[in-house]
Amino acid sequence: MNSNNEIQAAVTATQPERRRVSLPLIILAVLFIIVPFLTWYGTWFGRKLSDEDIATYLADEKNPRRIQHALSRIEERIEGGDPTVKKFYPQVVALTKSPFGEIRKTTAWVMGQDNTSEEFHACRWRDWHALCERRRIRHRRSNDSVASPRSLHRE
């Protein structure tokens, strides 16, 4: 019987020890996959949005990325000639007063895609007049040549 135990001990001694993969290492590996995916998914504007999602995203003032995503979907639908997108125009016009510069720029870009909209035209005209008035005031205060009446029409 001793020889059986000796053989068993010899076999055990020659087998490499199995290492168990620890749970923290598995969790880390999963996080290396999930975190980049969630980051990409949360910032990618290519995902389609339903009308309800667009309305919800446009009203979400705390998350500018969601507003930009909705605006990019609206722009895509304008380019595609979708007449149902006009129901979002009042919300788009309201976003011109957003405190976030990115939102105002994206809104201006979207409004530029539909040159037949009276709502968009009136908003752009109002903003142009506000810009001109600010330049006139700056010119009067500092006698700045950049804000001269002639330079108002160059931009």
Same domain, 134 and 84: no
pLDDT of amino acid 117: 83
Q: Which of 2-11, 14-23, 58-67 has the highest mean pLDDT?
A: 58-67
Q: Which residue has better confidence, 153 or 127?
A: 127
Same domain, 135 and 105: no
pTM: 0.61
- CA–CA dist 39, 115 (Å, integer): 35
**Mean pLDDT confidence for 16-26:** 74
Same domain, 82 and 71: yes
**Vertex 24, ends 18 and 29: CA angle to 5°?**
95
Say what percent of the chain tops pLDDT 90.
Answer: 24
Evaluate if residue 46 carries a pLDDT over 70.
yes
Expressed as residue numbers, the domain containing 88 is 48-114
Same domain, 99 and 56: yes
CA distances (Å), origin 59, targets 73, 81, 88, 147: 15, 24, 11, 36
How many structural domains comprise the chain?
2
